[in-house]
Amino acid sequence: MDVLLLLLALMVALPSLSVVESRKSPVLNSFQYCAVSCRAYGASLIDFGGVGDGTTLNTNVFQTAIDHLSQYSSNGGSQLYVPPGKWLTGSFNLTSHFTLFLHKDAVILASQDENDWPVIDPLPSYGRGRDAQGGRFSSLIFGTNLTDVVITGDNGTLDGQGELWWQKFHNGELKYTRPYLIEIMYSTDVQISNLILVNSPSWNVHPVYSSNVIVQGITILAPVHSPNTDGINPDSCTNTRIEDCYIVSGDDCVAVKSGWDEYGIAYGMPTKQLVIRRLTCISPTSAVIALGSEMSGGIQDVRAEDIVAINTESGVRIKTAVGRGGYVKDIYVRRMTMKTMKWAFWMTGNYGSHADNNFDPNALPVIQNINYRDMVAENVTIAATLEGLSNAPFTGICISNVTIELAKKAKKVPWTCTDVAGISSGVTPVPCDQLQDQGPEKIGACTFPEYPLPIDDVEVQTCTYYKNF
Ligand SMILES: *[C@@H]1O[C@H](CO)[C@@H](O)[C@H](O)[C@H]1NC(C)=O
Ligand SMILES: *[C@@H]1O[C@H](CO)[C@@H](O)[C@H](O)[C@H]1NC(C)=O
Ligand SMILES: *[C@@H]1O[C@H](CO)[C@@H](O)[C@H](O)[C@H]1NC(C)=O
Ligand SMILES: *[C@@H]1O[C@H](CO)[C@@H](O)[C@H](O)[C@H]1NC(C)=O
Ligand SMILES: *[C@@H]1O[C@H](CO)[C@@H](O)[C@H](O)[C@H]1NC(C)=O
């Protein structure tokens, strides 16, 4: 339909304009951005009757547009352009070989009416919703069983208008688990990039049971005391790359997960081959990177580097419990700069928090081969609290070339270690005896793998589109 409109416009223009000039106008109307794949067909939300006045509900417009565009899935793919405006909507579903693109002045405004949020089943690896038993509200932007989906923009905005949801959470008024801003489930080849996410009702970005996921250039802002406003939560995902993100939130900036207790063990789907780099995090009540607490499907091969943490409770934190089963192993973190922290490092086997009382008391988590190196921290209250389980000690912990400058009001004992084993080298203040000092010549002792993961090789290309609307 848009191509036809463009041709008509050119025919009208030709008699009075030179060919050169008439060619100019679509070029002036072009826009470019980077994506893993470009699309053959494009349309604007306006074409489907969208009204961006901030009060008209556009849920059906989004869904009709995407359902219509899904016909191009096997024919070059399609893009839905969201123009400047405030587009009030409830939850809608994406399709395959599809791009949702937000203009920099486009705001997708999440409805505060629960009727605009369909209730979907709990995640099989969790067995229940996190806020309430049973179902959960579908995310603002939801996709399931997709291949090749891109959500991007010139830093346009998703506004979750979370205030009302946070109040319902605090007042115990939630019948179902709060929605997330973006959830992509059972999908492969996913890109989420160049967007600003504000005031999510709960988690912000949740790729789950998916592979080949790139999250790039995302800014996430939520009040630092808002409940459960985690930034990016890769959950039972393989091959994920999170880079160049800036996150200020009321919960973990990145929380790596893989299911909860007996449900996560039965589902058995780990998060593995995860890259996190160039992340800036402010999270006064939580962690820069949390591993767990739901890790029952296992977490393996996580590589995090070039991270800046400011006014954050802990740097890396590993949370697990008896009954979780699963494992957290082969974790590599380097070049993290921390300013004003309660803990640089925290790990615990006593996190508790169970899905229900049917967890298996013999399902012990395995925590092994954890490597932290090349870090500087200042104004830190406690260097580290590392507490494993007496019947399942955390082993293979390696900390090298880490300088932690304690705060004036720091705890007298900077390191507390129980049921953990490992080595250290070139660490200040002097670590606990459980991390046997190898001497200053072993300052490079802790591993960081130099070979790339498959997701490192995925490149974005420049896509050019002509706005014929
Ligand atoms: C979106 O997907 C969910 C889960 O598959 C489904 O329950 C819901 O009906 C879908 N919504 C629409 C409008 O198709
Ligand atoms: C989506 O994929 C999951 C896992 O492969 C499968 O169990 C489910 O039936 C699929 N759903 C749809 C709607 O195709
Ligand atoms: C969008 O924001 C990112 C992260 O702050 C920034 O690097 C990028 O230049 C911005 N892009 C545009 C088109 O403004
Ligand atoms: C150090 O941390 C404390 C909180 O623990 C904070 O009040 C203070 O401003 C910080 N000082 C500096 C120099 O950042
Ligand atoms: C120690 O870490 C710092 C960064 O904090 C880095 O610049 C330096 O090269 C590292 N030293 C060694 C010997 O690896």
Average pLDDT over residues 381-398: 98
pTM: 0.94
pLDDT digits (tens, 9 = 90+) for 59-88: 999 999 999 999 999 999 999 999 999 999
Q: Return the domain boundaries, the chain.
A: 2-355+364-466
Mean pLDDT of the chain: 93
Give the residue carrying structure tokens 């960081």.
Answer: 448
Return the active site residues. 251
Instruction: Give mean pLDDT, residues 344-358.
Output: 96
Cα(401) to centroid(ligand 5), Å: 6
Nearest atom in ligand 5 to the alpha carbon of residue 444 is 14
- Find the residues whose C-beta lies inside 6 A of ligand 5: 374-376, 401, 443-444
* Mean pLDDT, rounded, for 460-466: 91
What pLDDT, on a 0 to 100 scale, did the predictor assign at position 388? 98
What's phi and psi for 106, nearest 5 deg? -90, 135
Question: What residues contact 444, with CB distance under 8 A and at least 6 apart?
Answer: 373, 400, 401
pLDDT for 216-231, tens place per residue? Answer: 999 999 999 999 999 9
pLDDT, tens only, 85-102: 999 999 999 999 999 999
pLDDT at 206 over 90: yes
Alpha-carbon torsion (260, 262, 267, 270), positive or negative: positive
Cα–ligand 1 centroid distance for 96 (angstroms): 14
Q: Is the pLDDT of residue 4 over 50?
A: no
d(CA 235, CA 412): 37
Residue nearest to atom 13 of ligand 2 (CA): 145
Q: For 203-227, what is the mean pLDDT?
A: 98
Q: Does the structure show a pLDDT above 80 at 31?
A: yes
Compute the distance from residue 32 Cα to the ligand 3 centre, in Å: 13
Task: With CA atoms as reference, report the closest residue to 301 among 88, 451, 126, 97.
Answer: 451
Model confidence at 28, pLDDT cuts 50, 70, 90, reads low
Of 215, 214, 217, nearest to 189 by C-alpha is 214
With bands split at pLDDT 50, 70 and 90, how would you rate the model's confidence at 29? confident
Superfamily of segment(s) 2-355+364-466? Single-stranded right-handed beta-helix, Pectin lyase-like (2.160.20.10)
pLDDT band at 451 (very low <50, low <70, confident <90, very high): very high
Q: What is the number of the ligand 4 atom nearest to the C-alpha of 408?
A: 1
Task: Let me know: does 54 contact 80? Beta carbons within 8 Å.
Answer: no
What's the pLDDT at 16?
28
pLDDT class for 18, splitting at 50, 70, 90?
Answer: very low
Mean pLDDT score, 184-212: 98
| Residue 13: predicted pLDDT | 31
